[in-house]
Amino acid sequence: MNPAENILKLPELRRRILFTFFMLAIFRLGAHIPVPGINAVALEEFFERASGTIFGFFDLFSGGAFSRLTIFALGVMPYISASIIMDLLSVVIPKLAQLKKEGERGRAEIISYARYGTVFISAIQSLGLALSIEALRSPSGMSIVINPGPMFVFTTVVTMVAGTMLLMWIGEQINERGIGNGISLIIFAGIVARIPSGFTTMLNLIRTGDISLLQTLVIVFTMISVIAFIVYMELAHRKITINYPKRMIRGKLYGGQSSFLPIKLNISGVIPPIFASSLLAFPVTVARFADTPFSKTILHYFSFESPLYLTIYAILIIFFAFFYTSIIFNPQDIAENLRKYGGFVPGIRPGQKTAEYIDRIVARLTLVGSLYLAFICVMPSIFINYFRVPIYFGGTSLLIVVGVAMDMMRQLESFIIMSQYEGLLKKHRF
């Protein structure tokens, strides 16, 4: 049976999909409701100049809400930052490390801490943003804020914090009552919302003759090839064989089975490019709005077409891939769990030797995965600057879109299979 027919025939799945689309529609609606007291014309002029800075980075993950200074201007980045901070703190704080091992209850408590952290981070960011915007002017000299003052700052902080918390609630509702990961889908929807404008720009360039038919075919072929490569690399994993010895329980022989431990090639996901992009965007942001000889030098060497920028960007991606993998993946815990349940890797002693063996495999996989991430993120700039192929997508955006789409398809497939098993059990009534 066609999977699309299965989706349409399952009432529960239909409800979940419709609920997910409804929540995402609320997000897109809020992304067009501006904060009170903003001069829209001056704001548009300002953000035309701010491309390539930290403002453009935030605008990417807010789906254009940041450039319009809407109620969802901060997006879900404060929540993502709070979650990453909790992951980092769980390594150095024993109480948090213990909570991670306590299953659902511990996970719920860590999420509650992340929520409080989201409020704090979004309040700090919105306060800094409100105070910054008051002093900024557009290139033509117009003030971005119509009536600066304490009331504008207070209104902006309250509005943006409330918007971030609403987005966090929308993401959690999608997790519980929809389909897919809510926070990832919000970022996915924001990036996908920009695709029509990109296609419109390309069609206009084709119509005016700025892009030839051959270049268009090269762009389409490149995008399809890159997407296929990302799918292949995201599905790639290494299987470590795990054997379980036979046991005599109440006179019966159990066990003796063989299984495997799958380890993904790209364990860290899209976090390393996000960290690297945000870190490199800070000096560009400061230099873009400072009219000094040194700032012009920074802009020259840290422009997107600069070989130095691309080299540092790739190195930072590789570094953060190793760093974040070491935080979220602990070979020692895996080796201890295998020893506890009697599992062992053939030819490797249980305990510390198994941990060292898994750590070596993870290091090799992380090296290949980090090089793959660096290639995907640097490749568009190389094609644009050195081969003069106008590619209208970023590596980080493409990784997020493809990754979220693959995760969505996996969840849909799992839901369909689960519903078929439930239908079989109800039919036969064992």
pLDDT in tens, 117-150: 999 988 988 888 888 788 777 777 778 888 888 8
Cα 351 to Cα 20: distance, rounded to the nearest angstrom: 44
Structural domain boundaries, residue 26: 1-193
Kindly state whether residue 166 falls inside one of the protein's structural domains.
yes
User: Could you say which of 149, 166, 193 is where a domain stops?
Assistant: 193
pLDDT average, residue stretch 97-106: 79
Kindly state whether residue 65 falls inside one of the protein's structural domains.
yes
* Residues 7 and 155 both lie in one domain: yes
pLDDT for residue 255: 58
* Residues 86 and 164 both lie in one domain: yes
* Residues 249 and 101 both lie in one domain: no
Q: What percent of the chain has pLDDT over 70?
A: 83
Span of 68-82, 200-214, 363-377 with lowest mean pLDDT: 200-214
Query: Phi/psi of residue 267, each to 5°?
Result: -75, -40
More confident residue, 294 or 232: 232
| Spatial CA neighbour of 328 closest among 7, 147, 132, 84 | 84
Kindly state whether residue 240 falls inside one of the protein's structural domains.
yes
pLDDT in tens, 113-124: 889 999 998 898
* Residues 94 and 223 both lie in one domain: no
Distance of CA 345 to the CA centre of its chain: 33
Confidence band of 418 (pLDDT split at 50, 70, 90): confident
* Residues 328 and 372 both lie in one domain: yes
pLDDT in tens, 23-45: 999 999 988 888 888 887 787 77
* Residues 143 and 289 both lie in one domain: no
- 15: its two tokens: 């409800």
* Residues 88 and 232 both lie in one domain: no
- 44: its two tokens: 């548009």
Contact between 305 and 66 under an 8 Å Cβ cutoff? The reply is no
Angle at 236 (CA atoms; ends 235, 241), nearest 5 degrees: 120
* Residues 170 and 222 both lie in one domain: no
Q: Which residue type occupies 10?
A: L
Q: How many helices (H) and strands (E) in the chain?
A: 17, 4
Please, is 104 exposed, middle or buried when counting C-beta atoms within 10 Å of its C-beta (0-12, 13-18, 19+)? exposed
The structure's pTM equals 0.79
pLDDT for residue 293: 73
pLDDT for residue 51: 58
Confidence band of 222 (pLDDT split at 50, 70, 90): confident
pLDDT in tens, 257-294: 788 889 999 888 888 888 887 777 777 666 666 667 77
* Residues 282 and 156 both lie in one domain: no
Question: With the C-alpha atoms ordered 386, 387, 392, 394, is the resulting torsion angle positive or negative?
Answer: negative
Kindly state whether residue 427 falls inside one of the protein's structural domains.
no
User: Could you say which of 193, 218, 242 is where a domain stops?
Assistant: 193
Q: What is the DSSP string of 131-168?
A: HHHHH-B-TTS-BSBSS-SHHHHHHHHHHHHHHHHHHH
pLDDT for residue 74: 86
Cα 102 to Cα 82: distance, rounded to the nearest angstrom: 20
Split into its structural domains, the chain has a count of: 2
Kindly state whether residue 318 falls inside one of the protein's structural domains.
yes
* Residues 78 and 218 both lie in one domain: no
pLDDT average, residue stretch 295-319: 80
Span of 256-260, 392-396, 398-402 with lowest mean pLDDT: 392-396
* Residues 187 and 322 both lie in one domain: no
Kindly state whether residue 405 falls inside one of the protein's structural domains.
no
Confidence band of 430 (pLDDT split at 50, 70, 90): very low
Span of 9-13, 53-57, 295-299 with lowest mean pLDDT: 53-57
Query: Phi/psi of residue 34, each to 5°?
Result: -75, 160
CATH code, domain with 97: 1.10.3370.10
Cα-based distances in Å from 191 to 38, 141, 382: 24, 31, 22
CA atoms within 13 A of residue 159's CA, in its CB half-sphere: 20
Cα 10 to Cα 419: distance, rounded to the nearest angstrom: 8
Query: Phi/psi of residue 141, each to 5°?
Result: 100, 0
DSSP 38: B
* Residues 42 and 108 both lie in one domain: yes
pLDDT for residue 204: 79
